[in-house]
């Protein structure tokens, strides 16, 4: 994609937008970075961005800027329906995302991971497996460094491992991963998509450009994933339930075993990878490990390196991580559980009674699916944030210990402590986004950890 001399508008001044603007400017474009947020509320803006020649339009979008552009690069968090984008499209202006910009610029093969839950864990695990095999790997995308930063990196990566979201896939028609992983599809982001079918179609776009030399890694236990598996093109490999005539990985006791491969992958049949030392909690993380093993092995990771990473990999921050044990009560931070299915999986990871802290900004889809897990496991529910009453109404009757309402995280932790006894688990698993009270899920998790530490003083 030739950028020199073009007028490029980048929409959204968060991490990926800033990276896209800097990349386009380095490659000779006249760049405007537009955001509806005023400058004083954008502390992450690099001071040298304007010095480099990027024009800043902050505090609102100017339709005239959008319609005069040659190319618009829209950040994942920006709805595609805003009027300046609609006006630009009516004028024939191309609108893409940062993922498409990166896909055009990258030369290294890409391993891409999407799904509702587990993306970051699997992305990092695959990256570690390839790095332990001696490969020069870039790990980023929807986590860490924006994917576009890999395009100018020196020395250039041999492989790129990228977490990609449905929002990114919506604006990335040219994206072509060598290995594409679809972990699961459960209700999420229904505040942005009209229905589950539209959300699922966005996830399936990860396979759209794959051909005969590529690989699709699929969850055989997820009916939506099975329905969206590519009919032709890439080699289909499965974790979970594996079709009898297709390749994949089987769980045999504590081992993952590769089976069903034909030439040129026949030599993989029978390879075993132990999960005995896996430090990640829950059956869902065994599925995540299985997906990572398949993707990493087919991307060229050594079997020994894969086994090493499985034994050493530790939970990532805010994902079922133990903050502390206070008076026999285990306090667990799963702030990244921003949808109902993630909370179902979190509850299933514990045998002990749970005091659940939930709430935040509603993402659509309802909370009724949590009732069986709450009825069987949760001794008391503590709710907070904008969705507090909706969660209390949906789940209160199923919770034997009733519902408590908290005004902030400190109060939520104190109320949970009052209901917990030695041997119990206090679990932060919000089932909501954080944006009503916190800048992101990480800040929410940090607030939980700080409140727990206060209990020890």
Q: Where are the domains of the chain?
A: 7-98, 106-312, 321-454
Residue 56: per-residue pLDDT:
95
Whether domain 7-98 has CATH 3.90.1300.10: the reply is no
Residue 41: per-residue pLDDT:
86
Residues 6+ apart with CB under 8 A from 157: 108, 136, 137, 138, 150
Residue 188: per-residue pLDDT:
85
Active site residues: 119, 142, 189
Strand partners, 417: none
Q: How far does Cα 82 stand from its chain's mean position?
A: 24
Contact 93, 183 (CB under 8 A): no
Q: For the chain, list residues with pLDDT below 50.
A: none
Alpha-carbon gap, residue 457 to 448, rounded angstroms: 15
Complete DSSP assignment for 46-80: -TTTTTTT-EEEESS--HHHHHT-SEEEE-TTS-T
Alpha-carbon gap, residue 160 to 148, rounded angstroms: 11
Alpha-carbon gap, residue 74 to 376, rounded angstroms: 44
Q: 78: phi > 0 → left, psi -120 to 50 → alpha, else beta; which?
A: beta
Q: How far does Cα 111 stand from its chain's mean position?
A: 15
The CATH number of the structural domain formed by 321-454 is: 3.90.190.20
Q: In 152-239, which ranges are E strands?
A: 159-163, 179-182, 215-219, 235-239
Residue 192: per-residue pLDDT:
86
Q: Tokens 């998790």 appear where?
A: 445
Q: Report CA-CA distances (Å) from 302 to 200, 268, 306, 319.
A: 33, 11, 6, 27
Q: Give just the sign of the alpha carbon dihedral 114, 115, 119, 122.
A: negative
Alpha-carbon gap, residue 370 to 136, rounded angstroms: 42
Contact 220, 212 (CB under 8 A): no
Give the HSE-up count for residue 123: Cα atoms under 13 Å, Cβ half-sphere.
Answer: 25
Residue 122: per-residue pLDDT:
98
Contact 44, 35 (CB under 8 A): no
Phi, psi of 50 (to 5 degrees): -65, -35
Alpha-carbon gap, residue 334 to 121, rounded angstroms: 13
Question: Which uninterrupted H or E stretch holds 290?
Answer: helix 283-298
Q: 148: phi > 0 → left, psi -120 to 50 → alpha, else beta; which?
A: alpha
Contact 106, 160 (CB under 8 A): yes
Residues 6+ apart with CB under 8 A from 86: none
Top-level CATH class of 106-312? alpha beta
83 three-state secondary structure: helix
Phi, psi of 223 (to 5 degrees): -65, -30
Contact 69, 7 (CB under 8 A): yes
335 three-state secondary structure: coil
Of 417, 418, 414, 447, the residue nearest 430 (C-alpha): 447
- pLDDT tens-place string over residues 179-228: 999 999 998 888 888 999 999 999 999 999 999 999 999 999 999 999 99
For residue 332 the two structure tokens come to: 């667990």
Q: What proportions of the chain, in percent to the nearest 5, are helix, strand and coil?
A: 35, 20, 45
Complete DSSP assignment for 99-115: HHHHHHH--S-EEEEE-
User: Model pTM?
Assistant: 0.91
């Amino acid at each position: 994609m030739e950028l020199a001399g073009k007028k490029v508008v980048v929409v959204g001044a968060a991490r990926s937008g800033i990276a896209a603007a800097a990349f386009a400017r380095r490659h000779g474009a006249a760049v405007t970075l537009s955001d509806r947020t005023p400058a004083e509320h954008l502390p992450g803006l690099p001071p040298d961005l304007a010095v480099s020649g990027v024009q800043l339009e902050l505090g609102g979008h100017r339709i005239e800027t959008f319609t005069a552009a040659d190319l618009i690069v829209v950040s994942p968090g920006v709805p595609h329906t805003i009027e300046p984008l609609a006006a630009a499209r009516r004028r024939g202006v191309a609108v893409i995302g940062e993922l498409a910009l990166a896909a055009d610029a990258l030369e290294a093969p890409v391993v891409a991971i999407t799904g509702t839950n587990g993306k970051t864990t699997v992305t990092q695990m695959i990256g570690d497996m390839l790095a332990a095999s001696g490969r020069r790997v870039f790990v980023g995308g929807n986590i860490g460094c924006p994917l576009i930063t890999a395009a100018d990196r020196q020395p250039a990566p041999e492989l790129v491992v990228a977490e990609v979201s449905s929002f990114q896939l919506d604006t990335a028609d040219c994206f072509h991963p060598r290995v594409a992983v679809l972990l699961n599809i459960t209700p999420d982001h229904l505040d942005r998509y009209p229905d589950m079918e539209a959300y699922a179609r966005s996830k399936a776009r990860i396979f759209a450009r794959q051909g005969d030399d590529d690989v699709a890694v699929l969850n055989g236990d997820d009916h939506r994933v099975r329905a969206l598996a590519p009919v032709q093109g890439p080699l289909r490999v499965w974790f979970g339930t594996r079709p009898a005539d297709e390749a994949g990985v089987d769980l045999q006791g504590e081992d993952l075993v590769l089976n069903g491969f034909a030439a040129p992958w026949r030599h993989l049949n029978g390879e075993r990878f132990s999960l005995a030392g896996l430090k990640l909690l829950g059956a869902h993380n065994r599925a995540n490990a299985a997906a990572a093993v398949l993707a990493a092995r087919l991307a060229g990771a050594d079997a020994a390196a894969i086994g090493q990473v499985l034994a050493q990999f530790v939970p990532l921050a805010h994902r079922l991580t133990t903050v502390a044990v206070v008076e026999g009560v285990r306090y667990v931070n799963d702030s990244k559980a921003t949808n109902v299915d993630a909370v179902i999986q979190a509850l299933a990871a514990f045998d002990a009674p749970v005091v659940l802290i939930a709430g935040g900004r509603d993402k659509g889809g309802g909370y009724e699916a949590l009732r069986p897990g709450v009825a069987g496991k949760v001794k008391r529910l503590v709710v907070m944030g904008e969705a507090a009453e909706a969660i209390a109404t949906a789940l209160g009757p199923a919770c034997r210990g009733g519902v408590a309402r908290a005004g902030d995280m400190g109060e939520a932790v104190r109320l949970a402590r009052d209901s917990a006894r030695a041997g119990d688990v206090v679990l932060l698993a919000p089932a909501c986004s954080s944006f009503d009270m916190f800048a992101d899920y990480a800040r929410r998790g940090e607030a939980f950890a700080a409140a727990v530490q206060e209990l020890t003083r």
